[in-house]
Copies of this chain bind each other. A is one copy, B any other.
Amino acid sequence: MLPFARVTVIGLGLIGSSIARGVRATMPTARVTGFDADPEVRAVARRIDLCDDVADTAGAAVIDADLVILCVPVGAMAAAARDLAADLPADAIVTDVGGSKASVLAALREALPGATIVPGHPVAGTENCGPESGFASLFRGRWCILTPDGETPETATARVQAFWEALGANVECMTPQHHDLVLAVTSHVPHLIAYTIVGTASDLEQVTQSEVIKYSAGGFRDFTRIAASDPTMWRDVFLNNREAVLEILQRFSEDLTALQRAIRWGKGDELFDLFTRTRAVRRSIIDQGQDDARPDFGRAHE
């Protein structure tokens, strides 16, 4: 039993192209239609045979869809929804993959009055972007969060859940507000910190860029991976999840100030206690299959 027979993906970047590939790999009888506002991306999608069909307008892409997945940066969700509103079938379900949920839900409700909307966020990705960076297994073993509210029919949520499970994801439902706080901790503030330290290192007068790069294996290089993520997507996430990001950032800054003080006053025990406590978190992440157990992420050493 296919949860959906005609799936339309709007936005063919890393996530959109991974969904298209995933549907073709796991639900081969479903038809996948794609659209991207960028004609060059549409041309690439056609060339690599990403979808059964790539439409030239958003309207043409959704005209007989039963599931429409918006895979554009969260700041572009409202415009993408408006573009397809006139052609959206009445019984279609609309979902999205945006990294902030309260703002996206409000934007979609306004752009698509009366539509059935199941906001979603697959917590998966890499630092690469574009239609050629996607792969079918991106969501396997990862979690996808759905944030339906009182207006969302339960049957619609259940079908979207079945869709993500078919792609290999685990699904959990929560409120948009709770999602935004959880992701501020597990994704948004980590990205912001990574962008910051990479910027700080680039701007130092006393240490050259060449030195930063040479000695990056001391830890810095791990931060540069996520600081290489798509700039537009991340700008939009921070602007659209402002409150939660600022709240977590405040907590982080307080904790960092406490450690700074411990270093200044030579309080080795405080440092040791924290450094011991944080190892347990890593073990749990590995135990639950959310990261690679091999040291150094299994980076090749030979």
Interface residue ranges, A against B (CB under 8 Å):
75, 99, 123-128, 133, 135, 137-138, 140, 142-143, 145, 170, 172, 178, 181-183, 185-204, 206-207, 209, 211-229, 231-232, 234-236, 238-239, 242, 245-246, 248-249, 251-253, 255-256, 259-260, 263-264, 266, 268, 271-272, 274-279, 281-285, 288, 290-292, 295-302
Contacts and interface: CB of A to CB of B under 8 A. Distances in A.
Given A186-B219, A202-B281, A255 B196 contact: yes
B220 A187 contact: yes
A103 to B, nearest CB: 12
A95 B144 CA distance: 51
A214 B291 contact: no
21 contacts: A123-B217, A125-B217, A133-B295, A143-B215, A181-B206, A185-B212, A186-B215, A188-B219, A190-B223, A191-B219, A193-B197, A194-B222, A194-B278, A195-B275, A216-B285, A222-B225, A229-B275, A235-B271, A235-B272, A238-B271, A242-B263
Contacts of A282: 127, 198, 224-225, 227-228
A253 to B, nearest CB: 7
How many copies, total?
2
